[in-house]
Amino acid sequence: MPSFSSKLNELQTVLHAQGDRVLTLVTLAIESYFDHDETKARTVVALDDEIDSIDVAIERASIPLLAMGQTNEHAIRQVLTLVKVNNELERIADCGVNIAEQVIGHQHLSDPMPPTFRVMANSVLGMLRDSNRALATSNAELARQVLLFDDTVDRFRNELILQAQEQVALGTSSVRFAFRVTGATRNMERIADHSTNICEQTIYLLSGKIVRHRPEGWSDPAPPESD
* pLDDT single digits (tens) 99-129: 999 888 775 656 667 788 899 999 999 999 9
- The neighbour count for residue 110, using CB atoms within 10 Å, is 8
Residue with more model confidence, 57 or 220: 57
Distance CA 113, CA 183 (A): 13
Which of 3-12, 61-70, 171-180, 200-209 is the least confident region?
A: 171-180
Query: What percent of the chain stands above pLDDT 90?
Result: 57
Q: Is residue 214 situated within a structural domain?
A: no
Flag whether pLDDT at 214 surpasses 90. Answer: no
What tens digit of pLDDT does each residue of 43-101 get? 999 999 999 999 999 999 998 888 887 778 888 889 999 999 999 999 999 999 999 99
pLDDT digits (tens, 9 = 90+) for 116-162: 889 999 999 999 999 999 999 999 999 999 999 888 999 998 888 88
Q: In this structure, is residue 132 part of a structural domain?
A: yes
In a domain, 188, yes or no: yes
In a domain, 198, yes or no: yes
The predicted-structure confidence for 4-20, as pLDDT tens digits, reads as follows 889 999 999 999 999 99
Of 192, 181, 173, which Cα lies nearest the Cα of 99? 181
In this structure, are residues 93 and 48 in contact, taking their beta carbons and an 8 Å threshold? yes
Determine the residue type at 227.
Answer: D
Angstrom distance (rounded) from CA 53 to CA 93: 12
Of residues 177 and 86, more confidently modeled: 86
Say if residue 216's pLDDT is above 60: no
Domain that holds residue 88: 4-207
Overall domain count for the chain: 1
129: in domain = yes
What average pLDDT does range 189-206 have in this prediction? 94
Rounded distance between C-alpha atoms, residue 158 and residue 134, angstroms: 27
- The reported pLDDT for the residue numbered 206 is 86
The CATH number that applies at residue 99 is 1.20.58.220
Any domain includes 171: yes
Q: What is the mean pLDDT of the chain?
A: 87
Structural domain includes residue 163: yes
- Residue 110, pLDDT score: 60
Whether residue 54 is contained in a domain is answered as: yes
Q: Rounded to the nearest 5 degrees, what angle is found at the Cα of 121, between the Cα atoms of 137 and 153?
A: 80
